[in-house]
Structure 1
Amino acid sequence: MFNKITNRSFGFNLLVVVGILAVLGLLFFSLLGIITKHGDTLTVPDVYKKNIQEATMILEKEGFSVDVRDSIYVDSLPGLAVWEQTPAKGSIVKVGRTIYLTINKVIPPMVQMPDLNGLTFRSAEMTLHSLRLNVGDTIYKPDFATNTVLQQLLNGKVVKPGREIPEGSNITLVLSSGTGNTENPAPDLIGLTFLEAKETLSASNLGLGTVLIDPSVTDTANAFVVKQTPPRRNSLNELNMVRAGETIDLWLSGNRPTKDSGGTPAPPAEPEQPE
């Protein structure tokens, strides 16, 4: 056979080669549409919020490939649910196109609790949202600085700045409602322990102002109130009136003060002022 080919002219052999290439080229281009599935398109289904297993089954059944490219955490979405798909639902794409999915994490990441005390409600809300935390309940309490944060709570308990908490947590904000309009007599805190005095102030919707402590005090919680400003009565023995949200300053000592028969405390020695 080789001899037959070599015995033929070069021109004839060239024509044979060209013919073979032409047939192969024609065959290739005729099959190209089938190989690439040219003209075969599908509409991308909607798998938003579906579990990753269910979403994969739906997409592969329709003729798509699936690739999980990223994960985030959204507290309103179940774990392993689809948050985003690319191409988007309703897109017209070729058969076999890869659909990239972003799914929701099962375990929320941890973030540090910010310090919201003293911020306005709007600033506190923006700070929480920037860390993917939510504003839960809002509780109003009388205080001078209207609509500012007095406390930050998680599950009913005070949460300190810097503590690690789950992303998506609901933070309850205790906000100032300003001072009240109704005046009441100032409570008599003389002789109470510091802890008792704070409880009395809280029950009266009053704030704790400046606290001056005698150097001899070793246990602040059980130290005694020996002076308060404003006092229960003024120099004319009239009741001093205060409004909810106002503050009372306290002086603490390790010795319980004595009161005269009229209930007036004996003048205490002034605690040393810090330098």
Structure 2
Amino acid sequence: MNDSKYFVIFIINLLIAIFFLYKITHFALKWADIYTKHGSYVVVPNLRYLTLSQSISILKKLGLKYDIDTSHYDPNLRNNQIISFSPEAGDHVKEGRHIYLKVNYKSQYNTTILPNIINKNKSIAIKLLHANQIPVKEIRYINDQTKDTVLKVFYKNKLIQSGYIFPTNQDGITLIIGKGYENNNLVVPNVIGMSLYAATSTLKEKLFRFINFYYDHPIIDPDKNAKVYRQKPSPGEIQDKNKSIELWLTSKELLDDLIEEKEIDKKIEEKEIDKKIEEKEIDKKTKTEKKEIIPTN
């Protein structure tokens, strides 16, 4: 009986505690909602490429604050133009939030900065240079796959990169521009011993497109089973890529036998050469010993 009484009291106390906890939580959430203006937000506008004054005017109307960074300059953009901003356009932020503005800013001093012209077409690069009042002193052309493309920039015989700040009254820059390869002459790779598939793939990778091949006898599945035992031009020779490469093919088994025979012949030849050298050394030694013998009276 006493146990039942204590159990009922425990349940009543538990319910009272839950009720008070609910009220406290509800009050805290309501207070936080009022304090933080929950549900009240501002959508960040798109400020990119607007001027600084236009951006500040828009942010003030929306109740947003701003921080300005003027440590960047891009000669391709107008002065005081917004380069980027954070948070990004479309983000939801609280009223009074600071928006970070990166502004394109050129100081009052007459500094000239090299724009990004590397890997750009020659005509586009020169237009950018003229727009930034950077004179071109000399243009040099070198062999390169990229034709009429700016590869390097030199100022006073020193390589410079985009963003380089020129001193007052600069002398002018030198542009290194690719002129493409003047001829089609390429080195012929060695494909002897390769399968037909591997040989043609290697030649095509080296830009040789015209390949003629001849079989010394019928071969089943030549791409796999045929091997090159002769080629024309020979490996290492210079050949116009628009001229054909000649390949002679035989079966894998015959070529392996031929290689094995050549290796045996080579070993025999080496042994014969060693034997001849040894005989010459013995003969030489014998003659030397005869000369050293003193005749007796």
> Which category of TM-score, normalised to the shorter sequence, fits these structures?
0.3 to 0.5
State the TM-score, normalizing by the size of structure 1. Answer: 0.36
Which of the two has higher C-alpha Rg? 2
State the TM-score, normalizing by the size of structure 2. Answer: 0.34
Greater relative CO, 1 or 2 (CA 8 Å, sep 6+):
1
The structure in which a higher percent of residues are helix is: 2
